[in-house]
Amino acid sequence: MKDSGFGSFLAGAVIGGLIGAALGLILAPQTGEEFREHVNDFVENKRAEIVDAVTEGRQAAEQARADMVTDFDAHADAQAEGATS
């Protein structure tokens, strides 16, 4: 299995985005209530993004598994036909 480093990139991008957004929220002049509202909105948006990313990842993994099963079955069938010839 090849390691493309995409997972590391994605983790770094998510962590960097969270840090940048948190600093922006903390440094912006707001009342306590506005700040809490912004934090709640931010957290809910990020939660939704993470859920979407996990769903897409699961779908991609399932498709990759299905493709591997299909390829394996085709290869096994070809080997079986070659052995009986």
Residue 49's pLDDT is 92
Residue 13's pLDDT is 86
CB of 25 within 8 A of CB of 38?
A: yes
Give domain limits for the chain.
6-84
3-state secondary structure of 3: coil
Residue 1's pLDDT is 45
pTM of the model: 0.52
Q: Tens of pLDDT along the chain (85 residues)?
A: 455 677 788 888 888 888 888 888 778 777 878 878 888 999 999 999 999 999 999 999 999 999 999 999 999 888 888 776 6
Among 9, 26, 18, 23, which Cα is nearest to 47's? 18
What are the CA-CA distances from residue 2 to residues 34, 65, 84 (Å)? 46, 15, 34
